[in-house]
Amino acid sequence: MKPRLYSKYHDEVKPALKKDRNYTNLHQVPRIEKIIVHMGLDATLEKSALEDAMNDMKTITGRKPVVNLARKSVSNFKLREGMPIGCHVTLRREVMYEFLDRLTAAALPRIRDFRGINPKSFDGQGNYSMGITEQSIFPEIELDKVKRTQGMDVTIVTSANTNDEALDLLTRMGMPFAGKKALGADGEAEEISKTDEVAELIFTACKGAGTDEEGIRNALFQLSNRKEWDAVVTAFAERHSDFYEGDIMKCLDGELNGKEMSRFVVDPLRGKGIEILEISKVEDVADRIAASCEGAGTDEGRITDAVYQIQSREEWDAAAAAFSERHDEVHGGDLMKCLTEELSEEEMETHVLKPLRERDIKILDAPAADSDDSK
């Protein structure tokens, strides 16, 4: 099975680039040739530092790294010729696309206060380089086993002849650039604001062959408050009035189902303290549990996130009442019946009872045997 980005490049990006840039030959369309991942190390560190770095790189890339040796001696740095000073991996073909997919969809959004990567870090010949300060942003790395924070450099080598072509290629492949450039009506490049950019990214992700949920999530990670979200709504209405009548919420609701809407829109924004849906907390909890209980399987993680919003027995009872009013078609509107029938006893304990118990909230009466023993 071909990687997702490989299929996206050949099915969507390549034809779009050929059409938009008027290439006469298909071989003129720029492509990603290889990705080089490099970790540099202080030569004075203990030997285990190199082994740890190589293990981390092997975990992240899936390939055994090559050790870099010093080419000459430098006394000021206590460096001798032949000493190991780092390691690197060169990725090509399927492995390259898989790494880029994980980098853009999973690793970069985990950076604290991530606002996009620098769109000016091209070398003039279509190659892009970026630095990563710590290896822990990759989900493959187990934080408990990290002995030292280790940064790395990632270089993406493309066949593009200019920076503009490479920027266009990588943007279409999903690289979350900050303050990227867009073509104006006169065909010249113009700087667009962050809110305009987010509106464009959401529009691009929603239109075409299927909705790009990860693209939407990466776009929303650039927002930091409700004011910016409202500006994005306005920008979307101005720039795309012919798409769902310029209504960004109608666009998202139309392209995403309820579960996707929660995962790729509501949750990322709520994680930043941005509420875009005018709904009470107890109604939100009821809706989340209902969405998790119906459809294709129960999402226990989503139920846990919902339950953690509850702070008292009164709020739980209010959520149960809201569930009954709003979702009478799901297990007859009975919240507890929904949970107990969709979750096993172990899942019920892990995802409902334990989170509530941590805040001294009891929703089930103790068994009679327990009460007798207590006497």
Residue with the larger pLDDT of the pair 188 and 33 = 33
pLDDT at 370 over 50: no
HSE-up (13 A, CA, CB side) for residue 101: 15
pLDDT at 369 over 50: no
Residue 371: pLDDT band (50, 70, 90) is very low
pLDDT at 372 over 60: no
pLDDT, one tens digit per residue, over 137-195 is 787 777 777 777 777 888 888 888 888 888 888 888 877 777 544 333 333 334 456 78
Q: In this predicted structure, what is the pLDDT of residue 113?
A: 65
Q: In this predicted structure, what is the pLDDT of residue 179?
A: 58
Q: In this predicted structure, what is the pLDDT of residue 189?
A: 37
Average pLDDT (51-80) is 79
Name the least confident of 185-194, 210-219, 279-288, 337-346: 185-194
pTM for the full predicted model: 0.47
Q: In this predicted structure, what is the pLDDT of residue 373?
A: 46
Answer for the pair 256, 264: CB distance below 8 angstroms, yes or no: yes
Partners of 37 in the β-ladder: 89, 154
What CA–CA distances, in Å, run from 284 to 302, 308, 338, 370?
A: 12, 12, 16, 34
Name the least confident of 31-35, 215-219, 313-317, 333-337: 215-219
Mean pLDDT computed over every residue of the chain: 78
- Of 59-63, 133-137, 255-259, the range with the highest mean pLDDT is 59-63
Average pLDDT (193-205) is 79
CA distance 310 to 355: 9
Q: Which domains does the chain have, with CATH numbers?
A: 4-189 (3.30.1440.10), 279-357 (1.10.220)
pLDDT, one tens digit per residue, over 294-346 is 654 466 777 887 888 788 888 899 889 988 988 888 888 899 888 888 888 88
Residue in the structure block whose two tokens are 């709520």: 270
